[in-house]
Structure 1
Amino acid sequence: MDARQPGPVADSLDRRIISALQIDGRASWHRIATALGEAERTVVRRGTRLLDSGLVRIGAMALHGRSTVVGVRCAPGQARVAASALARRSDCVFTHVLTGSPDCVAELLCPREQLPSLVMDELPGLPGMVETFTLPVLRHIRTIREWHSGLLTDDEIAALARLRPSDHSASPSPPSSGDVPSSSAEDVLPPADMAHGISRPDRLLLNALAEDGRCTYEELGRVAGVSEATARRRLGALRREGRVRIRAVIEPALLGLPVEAMLWVRAAPAKAEAVAAALADSVHVRYASFVTGERQILVLAALPSESALYDFVTRGPWLRDVASVDTSLVIGSLKRGGMLARRARD
Structure 2
Amino acid sequence: MESDTTWDLLEGLDELDHRIVHALQIDGRAPFRRIGEVLGVSDQTAARRYGRLRSSGMLRVVGLTDPHRIGVTPWVVRVRCTPDAAASVSLALARRTDTRWVSLISGGTEILCLVQTALAQRDDSLLLQKLPRTPRVVQVTAHAMLHIFFGKDLSPATKSGWLSPREVRALTVADERPPAAESTEAYPLAAEDQPLLDALAVDGRTPAAELAEVTGWSQTTVRRRMAELRAAGVLYYDLDFDRRALQPALRAGLWLEVEPARLAEVGAALATHQEIAFAAATTGTANVYASVNCKDAGALYRYLTGPVAELPGIRRTETSPTHRTIKGASPLLAPGMTRLAEADRT
Scaled by the length of structure 1, the TM-score of the pair is 0.80
User: Alpha carbons of 1:10 and 1:101: their partners in 2 closer, same or farther (altered >3 Å)?
Assistant: closer
Question: Any conservation in 1 of the 2:105–2:323 contact (CA below 8 Å)?
Answer: yes
Say whether 1:90 aligns with 2:97.
Answer: yes
Alignment-mate amino acid for residue 28 of structure 2: G
Question: Any conservation in 1 of the 2:74–2:144 contact (CA below 8 Å)?
Answer: yes
User: Alpha-carbon deviation of 1:218?
Assistant: 0.6
User: Alpha-carbon deviation of 1:288?
Assistant: 0.8
Scaled by the length of structure 2, the TM-score of the pair is 0.80
Aligned partner of 1:31 in structure 2 is 34
Say whether 1:277 aligns with 2:287.
Answer: no
User: Alpha-carbon deviation of 1:89?
Assistant: 2.3
Say whether 1:333 aligns with 2:325.
Answer: yes
Q: Name the SS of the counterpart of 1:90 in structure 2.
A: coil
Q: Name the SS of the counterpart of 2:195 in structure 1.
A: helix
User: Alpha carbons of 1:233 and 1:119: their partners in 2 closer, same or farther (altered >3 Å)?
Assistant: closer
Q: Distance in 1 between matches of 2:136 and 2:198?
A: 30
**What is the percent sequence identity of the aligned residues?**
30
| CA RMSD, Structure 1 to Structure 2 (Å) | 3.1
User: Alpha-carbon deviation of 1:340?
Assistant: 2.1
User: Alpha-carbon deviation of 1:225?
Assistant: 0.4
Aligned partner of 1:232 in structure 2 is 223
My pick for the range that moved more, 315-324 or 89-98, is 315-324
User: Alpha carbons of 1:250 and 1:150: their partners in 2 closer, same or farther (altered >3 Å)?
Assistant: same
Q: Name the SS of the counterpart of 1:294 in structure 2.
A: coil
Q: Distance in 2 between matches of 1:204 and 1:225?
A: 9
Say whether 1:143 aligns with 2:151.
Answer: yes
Question: Any conservation in 1 of the 2:250–2:295 contact (CA below 8 Å)?
Answer: yes
Aligned partner of 1:134 in structure 2 is 142
Aligned partner of 1:182 in structure 2 is none
Aligned residue pairs: how many?
313
Question: Any conservation in 1 of the 2:153–2:238 contact (CA below 8 Å)?
Answer: yes
CA-to-partner distance for each residue in 1:34-83, whole Å, 9 max, x for gaps? Answer: 23334444323322211121111121223331111111001112112222
Say whether 1:55 aligns with 2:58.
Answer: yes
User: Alpha-carbon deviation of 1:162?
Assistant: 4.4
Q: Distance in 2 between matches of 1:45 and 1:303?
A: 31
CA-to-partner distance for each residue in 1:93-121, whole Å, 9 max, x for gaps? Answer: 32111125971111112479999974873
Q: Name the SS of the counterpart of 2:311 in structure 1.
A: helix
Aligned partner of 1:241 in structure 2 is 232
Q: Distance in 2 between matches of 1:230 and 1:241?
A: 16
Question: Any conservation in 2 of the 1:57–1:212 contact (CA below 8 Å)?
Answer: yes
Alignment-mate amino acid for residue 215 of structure 1: T
Aligned partner of 2:204 in structure 1 is 213
User: Alpha-carbon deviation of 1:252?
Assistant: 7.1
Aligned partner of 1:345 in structure 2 is 338
Q: Distance in 2 between matches of 1:88 and 1:296?
A: 28
Choose the corresponding residue for 2:116, options 99, 102, 109.
Answer: 109
Q: Name the SS of the counterpart of 2:310 in structure 1.
A: helix
User: Alpha carbons of 1:102 and 1:278: their partners in 2 closer, same or farther (altered >3 Å)?
Assistant: farther
Q: Distance in 1 between matches of 2:288 and 2:49?
A: 38
Structure 1 unaligned segments of length 5 or more: list them: 167-194
Choose the corresponding residue for 1:319, options 287, 307, 310.
Answer: 310
Question: Any conservation in 2 of the 1:149–1:284 contact (CA below 8 Å)?
Answer: no
User: Alpha carbons of 1:89 and 1:319: their partners in 2 closer, same or farther (altered >3 Å)?
Assistant: farther
User: Alpha carbons of 1:320 and 1:59: their partners in 2 closer, same or farther (altered >3 Å)?
Assistant: closer
Q: Distance in 2 between matches of 1:253 and 1:119?
A: 28
Question: Any conservation in 2 of the 1:71–1:102 contact (CA below 8 Å)?
Answer: no
Structure 2 unaligned segments of length 5 or more: list them: 1-8, 178-185, 340-346
Alignment-mate amino acid for residue 96 of structure 2: R
The within-5 A match list for 1:261-272 is: 261-272=252-263
User: Alpha-carbon deviation of 1:341?
Assistant: 5.1
Alignment-mate amino acid for residue 23 of structure 1: I
Say whether 1:204 aligns with 2:215.
Answer: no
